Amino acid sequence: MEMKQIEAQTQDPTKSPSGLKILWRELVRDKVALFSLILLLLIMIFVYGVSFILDQDEIVKVDLFAIHQPPSEEFILGTDYGGRDVFGQLIIGTRNSLTIGFAVTLISGIFGIAFGLIAGYFGGHTDNAMMRVLDFFQVLPFTMLVIVFVSIVPKYTILAFCLIFAAFSWMGIARLIRSKALQEKELDYVQASKTLGTSHPKIIFKEVMPNISSLIIVTLTLNLAANIGIESGLSFLGFGFPESTPSLGTLLSYATNPQTLEFRWWIWVPAAVLILVLMLLVRNVGEALRRATDSRQRRG
């Protein structure tokens, strides 16, 4: 029902702008952000498209006759120490990073939003208890715990990784949403819904949540920028996926070998640049959206 409303709202030109429309307008006005969004979409289409054609098993197969080949016509970006095609690894690695980034953002986002909304809406003792749980999660040494869980999990798949990671990264968004929900619940329309006999869950998710949707979109986008780099970071430390799963982080970690760092740039430079570019692009978009939520900073 919510979606229908939003859709209808954006279709009618006579309405005063809705939150989503303001976000979109700001994005279009900010040329850097618009360019970032287009480039990001192009990279994503390319990566997901090409990785569909590529054969992962073929790419990760060790070929001892093609070790450390510089870029050539056969291997566009050369090969690594196992004779594996760097370009193929780059594409599939980027795909994995993006997928993980999106999945972690989504899972932690859904949980964090629900947690924050419930804590903020009910307030009082509920809020107090829930926030202490949140504090507990927040003081845990994040990276270390993820590494521990990643090592003890029996079957190390992308899904398992996403769940473990999401379990330790929902706190920021929960805190933010809670503070907004605390404000929102004092407004009369929430009180009115209560006197009209609407149930709490319905008020929370159908009345309060649509009213903070722009904040949710902005936060999720900015979180996405951070989350895309996660998998690379862990792989770089050696706790990412095994070498049978190509990863940007694995490619980067080859640069810890001084020989590779100095003479075989084709192995690690593209991965490093790609991570940097991806995170910058998402961030540009997110920053534009964030500006749109504050009318004093808007450009559009």
Partner 1 sequence: MAILEVEDLKVYFPVKAGIFNRTVDFIKAVDGVSFTIEEGKTYGLVGESGSGKTTTGRGIIGLETITSGRVVFNGADVTSRKSKSKDMRKDMQMIFQDPYSSLNPRKRVIDIIAEPLRNYERLSKIEEKKRVQELLELVGLSPESIMKYPHEFSGGQRQRIGIARAIALKPKLIIADEPVSALDVSVQAQVLNFMQDIQKELGLTYLFISHDLGIVKHMCDEIAIMYKGRYVEQGTKYDIFQNPQHIYTKRLVAAIPDIDPRNREKQFKFRRQVQKEYESSYSNYFDNEGLAYGLQSISDTHLVALPERG
Does residue 9 touch partner 1 according to CB under 8 A? yes
Give min distance, CB of 177 to partner 1, in A. 16
Tell me which stretch binds partner 1 (CB under 8 A): 8-16, 161-169, 227-235, 262-270.
8-16
Compute how many other C-beta atoms are within 10 angstroms of the C-beta atom of residue 161.
24
Does residue 16 touch partner 1 according to CB under 8 A? yes
Ramachandran region, residue 7 (left: φ > 0; alpha: ψ -120 to 50; beta: rest): alpha
Report the distance separating Cα 36 and Cα 99, nearest Å. Answer: 19
Q: Considering beta carbons, is residue 177 or 282 the nearer one to partner 1?
A: 177
Q: Considering beta carbons, is residue 22 or 44 the nearer one to partner 1?
A: 22
Q: Does residue 251 sit in helix, strand or coil?
A: helix
Does residue 210 touch partner 1 according to CB under 8 A? yes
DSSP 68: T
Indicate the burial class of 8 (C-beta count within 10 angstroms; 0-12, 13-18, 19 or more). exposed
Q: Residue for token digits 């900073």?
A: 297
Residues 251 and 100 sit within 8 Å (Cβ to Cβ):
no
Report the distance separating Cα 96 and Cα 75, nearest Å. Answer: 21
Does residue 35 touch partner 1 according to CB under 8 A? no
Helical segments of the chain, H only:
2-11, 19-29, 31-53, 56-59, 86-122, 124-139, 142-152, 158-167, 171-184, 188-195, 200-202, 209-211, 213-237, 248-253, 258-263, 265-292
Q: Considering beta carbons, is residue 6 or 39 the nearer one to partner 1?
A: 6
Tell me which stretch binds partner 1 (CB under 8 A): 151-159, 206-214, 225-233, 264-272.
206-214
Does residue 123 touch partner 1 according to CB under 8 A? no
- Binding-residue total with partner 1 (CB under 8 A): 20
Give min distance, CB of 137 to partner 1, in A. 23
Indicate the burial class of 100 (C-beta count within 10 angstroms; 0-12, 13-18, 19 or more). buried
Does residue 192 touch partner 1 according to CB under 8 A? yes
Q: Considering beta carbons, is residue 12 or 57 the nearer one to partner 1?
A: 12
Tell me which stretch binds partner 1 (CB under 8 A): 42-50, 131-139, 205-213, 227-235.
205-213
Tell me which stretch binds partner 1 (CB under 8 A): 71-79, 151-159, 191-199, 271-279.
191-199
Q: Find the binder of partner 1 among 56, 99, 211, 257 (CB under 8 A).
A: 211
Q: Considering beta carbons, is residue 15 or 299 the nearer one to partner 1?
A: 15
Does residue 189 touch partner 1 according to CB under 8 A? yes
Chain residues in the site for partner 1 (CB under 8 A): 5, 9, 15-16, 18, 187-189, 191-199, 207, 210-211
